[in-house]
């Protein structure tokens, strides 16, 4: 039903698939087999006595298995989920594994995100779409960009890390068989040892050196029926260090001789530093230097920084500076002006058609159509750990310590700013105190490197204040959507149209990271509206990309975060108009989608009936490969929404660690609920109004609802978990509020008055 109708070769196919096809025909490169992701010439960080068996696995003489982690741990449990894949295939307990962060090498690059970002409907199985995905993965493999985002960590690592474990196990078994002079088929493994049916046994540590000398060894992955660790709630490996304080976040880094930097950035979007009187700050005891920083491609604005012997001195000296800022072209910018621009663009521009099937709504149907306009504001990321980076130039090398989601992009930015090669950079990636997409950016890196160049030999730690972070974020874009649908006399949706307008976050991110000019459609600008699975015969989904005066970037679940609110709230409007139960209304549009029906029914059945004076609201949304349904139980207390419980069902394919999936759903719900009830960044006179959490509230612990998670059994490959729990929160709560009040809330955050 959702396949592109035959004979229609639309502009999306031309831009994406046509470019892929042309490239493959020109160089013939796409015909070559994919480059391997198992081994590398770069040595990972090794302890004395470690033996490298492939690019992901090392075995020590003490029988400890060291696993290379190519993704960033920011609370999502990657430090446990990914080594579980290796532990399973190697037959070693997870507790025996030691982790090291991956060096910069192309085998550790993500090969999934670009393919997932192609703007095709997920049920489009056309040759152009399949070719585009295949070629995208090959391109990503060649680029080798190490990045954590798009909920791809487990999905992208599922095969290479299992293959690394299986390959290491096969090598160790063959080494043992050769040593004992027996057929390898008579050998087996368990608990970090190779055993022989005749009673012989040897530890992996004893066999590692011999195993490393072997040539290519064939291996086979385990069948799912043989898993004994995948699928179990094993204890997280990152928690002990976070409890006892030994975990190093970026702000914990303290290399010998470190000095501290604080800065003032131009408060006006598009503004410039005209002048600054630095005399009083330079005369302050403990101040080492005052430095002017120019705006940079990475997104950092004009700024003036103080470098001092202590953080307090550096911060205090900023008060003695008297910068004069030129306001720039957006000096009169307000939220109202942004929204008016978006609405005007919807009226004036046709936009890009991301999906079309069947017929458009004709003039005879329009008078009977249900219409609604939805909107969402700019949002800041506000990770708990302040933005920071530590940099040091020493012996012709640049050392970097920081929490980042994109180490290879960090290295490229630092090399560009310092005018050195990436090979001259030593990067230490720390734990991340929250990411949510904000730490895909490198503006703080450009600043820290520029400051370190002013203090040769000394480590310089730059840390932003919370006020800096809120005022100089790369925000989730503001968005307006116009929804139109036609129901027949039985309440069936005959036609569906949506047209939305916003900035394009991935286009901007690529411009900052790679200096790529905006080109073609940006899937994230329309995702959640064009790629839903409701079975509607006539659909048209358009989006207008509008240049934003505020910088925008990926925010947890990106376009799905607000488009799910638009879509699922509008579906509830249609169900109310048709006088059909919202769950039943959705079921009728999912007849050919059993996985969606199963998730929907699981959430509704587990939620049961709401308590007295409360109401339920329902939302169903799929993104990043996973399907999530949520039922919010809501009341009104003191004139404000009170969310008591959210029942959440998820189908994310094969589950590595059920407890981590539950934690991710709880985290996503808390993050999404904060945005739904409070999230809003306001602009006045070209500046951000909010300064800190006192005027930009977050969900408090006594407001956190009970969360019950239902994980659907599945044998499919793993899909995303970090982001899919966020999008359904806002519409589920909004739909519950409608059931309580009869008032349809069509803008975020949700305000009853």
Give the pLDDT confidence of 312-350 residue by residue, as tens digits: 999 999 999 999 999 989 999 999 999 999 999 999 999
C-beta of residue 690 within 8 angstroms of C-beta of residue 744: no
- What confidence tens digit (pLDDT) does each residue in 513-571 have? 999 999 889 999 999 999 999 999 999 999 999 999 999 999 999 999 999 999 999 99
Using the 8-state DSSP alphabet, how is residue 747 labeled? Answer: B
Backbone angles phi, psi at 657, to 5 degrees: -140, 105
Tell the residue number behind the tokens 């019950």, with chain if given.
708
User: Mind listing the domains of the chain with CATH numbers?
Assistant: 11-33+113-140 (no CATH), 50-110+145-244 (3.30.365.10), 250-328+387-463 (3.30.365.10), 335-379+474-741 (3.30.365.10)
417's tokens: 């700013």
Q: What is the C-alpha to C-alpha distance for residues 33 and 711, in angstroms, rounded to an integer?
A: 36
pLDDT at position 3: 34
Question: If pLDDT is split at 50, 70 and 90, which confidence band does 41 have?
Answer: confident
Question: If pLDDT is split at 50, 70 and 90, which confidence band does 367 have?
Answer: confident
User: Residue 5 burial by CB count (10 A; 0-12/13-18/19+): exposed, middle or buried?
Assistant: exposed
User: Rounded to two decimals, what is the model's pTM?
Assistant: 0.94
Q: Using alpha carbons, select from 497, 419, 406, 487 the residue that is nearest to residue 453.
A: 419
Pairing of strands 538-545, 493-502: parallel
pLDDT at position 8: 37
C-beta of residue 234 within 8 angstroms of C-beta of residue 660: no
pLDDT at position 4: 32
Tell the residue number behind the tokens 């025909």, with chain if given.
25
Distances (CA, A) of 148 to 71, 124, 196, 252, 435: 6, 26, 41, 22, 9
Buried b (16+ CB within 10 A) or exposed e, 692-727: eeeebebbeeebebebbbbbbebeeebbbbbbbbbb
pLDDT at position 14: 42
510's tokens: 């690529």
Tell the residue number behind the tokens 């609110």, with chain if given.
565
52's tokens: 């490298």
Element (H, E) at 410: helix 407-418
Q: What is the average per-residue pLDDT within 712-733?
A: 98
283's tokens: 């005369």
pLDDT at position 359: 94
Q: Calculate what percentage of the chain has a pLDDT beyond 90.
A: 92
Q: What is the average per-residue pLDDT within 626-649?
A: 98
pLDDT at position 28: 59
User: 711 has which bridge partners?
Assistant: 650
Residues 6+ away with beta carbon under 8 Å from 505: 474, 476, 477, 522, 524, 525, 552, 553, 554, 555, 558, 559
pLDDT at position 31: 63
- What confidence tens digit (pLDDT) does each residue in 50-73 have? 999 999 999 999 999 999 999 999
Q: Using alpha carbons, select from 582, 580, 573 the residue that is nearest to residue 371.
A: 573
Residue 284 neighbours by CB distance under 10 Å? 16
pLDDT at position 364: 83
Radius of gyration for the alpha carbons in the chain, expressed in angstroms and rounded: 27
User: Residue 199 burial by CB count (10 A; 0-12/13-18/19+): exposed, middle or buried?
Assistant: exposed
**Average pLDDT in the chain:** 94
Pairing of strands 397-402, 425-429: parallel
Is the pLDDT confidence value at 11 over 80?
no
> What string of DSSP letters covers 371-397?
EEEEEE--B----SSPPEEEEEEETTE
- What confidence tens digit (pLDDT) does each residue in 18-33 have? 444 444 444 555 566 7
Q: What is the average per-residue pLDDT within 367-380?
A: 96
pLDDT at position 205: 97
pLDDT at position 176: 98
């Amino acid at each position: 039903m959702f396949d592109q109708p035959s004979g229609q070769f639309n502009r999306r196919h031309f831009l994406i698939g046509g470019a892929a096809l042309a490239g493959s025909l020109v160089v013939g490169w796409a015909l070559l087999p994919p480059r391997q992701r198992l081994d590398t010439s770069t040595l990972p960080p090794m302890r004395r006595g470690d033996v490298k068996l492939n690019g992901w696995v090392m075995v020590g003489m003490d029988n400890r298995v060291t696993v290379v982690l190519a993704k960033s741990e920011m609370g999502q449990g990657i430090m446990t989920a990914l080594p579980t894949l290796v532990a399973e295939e190697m037959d070693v307990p997870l507790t025996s594994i030691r982790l090291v962060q991956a060096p910069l090498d192309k085998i550790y690059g993500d090969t999934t995100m670009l393919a997932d970002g192609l703007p095709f409907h997920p049920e489009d199985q056309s040759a152009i779409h399949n070719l585009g995905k295949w070629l995208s993965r090959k391109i990503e493999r060649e680029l080798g960009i190490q990045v954590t985002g798009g909920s791809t960590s487990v999905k992208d690592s599922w095969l290479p890390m299992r293959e690394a474990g299986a390959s290491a196990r096969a090598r160790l078994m063959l080494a043992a068989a050769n040593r004992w002079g027996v057929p390898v088929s008579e050998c087996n493994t368990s608990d970090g040892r190779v055993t022989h049916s005749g009673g012989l046994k040897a530890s992996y540590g004893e066999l590692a050196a011999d195993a490393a000398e072997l040539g290519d060894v064939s291996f086979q992955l385990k069948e799912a029926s043989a898993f004994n660790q995948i699928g179990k709630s094993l204890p997280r490996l990152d928690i002990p260090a976070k409890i006892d304080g030994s975990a190093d976040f970026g702000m914990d880094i303290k290399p010998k001789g470190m000095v501290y930097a604080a800065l003032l950035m131009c408060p006006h979007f598009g503004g410039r530093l005209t002048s600054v009187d630095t005399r009083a700050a330079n005369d302050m005891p403990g101040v080492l230097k005052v430095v002017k920083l120019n705006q940079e491609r990475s997104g950092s604005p004009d700024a003036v920084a103080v470098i001092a012997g202590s953080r307090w001195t550096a911060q205090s000296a900023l008060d003695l500076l008297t910068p004069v800022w030129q306001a720039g072209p957006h000096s009169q910018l307000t939220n109202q002006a942004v929204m008016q621009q978006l609405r005007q663009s919807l009226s004036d521009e046709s936009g890009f058609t991301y999906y079309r099937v069947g017929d458009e709504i004709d003039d005879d149907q329009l008078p009977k159509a249900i219409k609604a306009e939805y909107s969402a504001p700019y949002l800041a990321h506000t990770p708990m750990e302040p933005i920071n980076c530590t940099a040091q130039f020493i012996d012709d090398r640049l050392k970097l310590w920081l929490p980042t989601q994109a180490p290879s992009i960090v290295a490229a930015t630092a090399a560009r700013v310092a005018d050195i090669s990436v090979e001259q950079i030593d990067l230490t990636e720390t734990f991340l105190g929250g990411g949510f997409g904000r730490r895909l950016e490198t503006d703080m890196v450009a600043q820290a490197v520029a400051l370190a160049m002013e203090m040769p030999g000394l480590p310089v730690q730059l840390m932003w204040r919370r006020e800096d972070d809120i005022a100089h974020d790369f925000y989730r874009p503001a968005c307006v959507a116009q929804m139109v649908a036609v129901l027949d006399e039985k309440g069936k949706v005959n036609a569906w149209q949506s047209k939305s307008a916003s900035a394009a976050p991935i286009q901007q991110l690529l411009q900052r990271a790679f200096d790529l000019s905006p080109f073609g459609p940006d899937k994230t600008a329309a995702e959640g509206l064009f790629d839903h699975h409701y079975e509607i015969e006539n659909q048209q989904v358009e989006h207008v990309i509008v240049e934003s005066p505020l910088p925008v970037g990926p925010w947890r679940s990106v376009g799905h975060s607000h488009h799910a609110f638009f879509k699922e709230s509008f579906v509830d409007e249609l169900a109310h108009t048709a006088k059909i139960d919202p769950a039943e209304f959705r079921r009728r549009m999912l007849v050919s989608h059993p996985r969606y029906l199963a998730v929907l029914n699981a959430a509704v059945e587990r939620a049961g009936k709401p308590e007295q004076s409360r109401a339920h609201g329902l939302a169903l949304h799929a993104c990043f490969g996973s399907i999530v349904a949520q039922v919010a139980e809501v009341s009104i207390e003191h004139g404000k929404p009170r969310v008591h419980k959210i029942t959440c069902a998820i189908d994310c394919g094969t589950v590595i660690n059920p407890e981590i999936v539950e934690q991710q759903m709880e985290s996503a719900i808390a993050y999404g609920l904060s945005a739904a009830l409070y999230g809003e960044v306001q602009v006045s006179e070209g500046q951000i109004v909010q300064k800190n959490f006192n005027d930009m509230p977050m969900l408090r612990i006594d407001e956190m609802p009970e969360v019950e998670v239902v994980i659907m059994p599945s044998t499919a490959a793993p899909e995303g978990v970090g982001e899919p729990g966020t999008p359904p929160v806002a519409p589920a709560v909004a739909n519950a509020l409608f059931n309580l009040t009869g008032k349809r809330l069509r803008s975020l955050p949700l305000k009853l008055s």
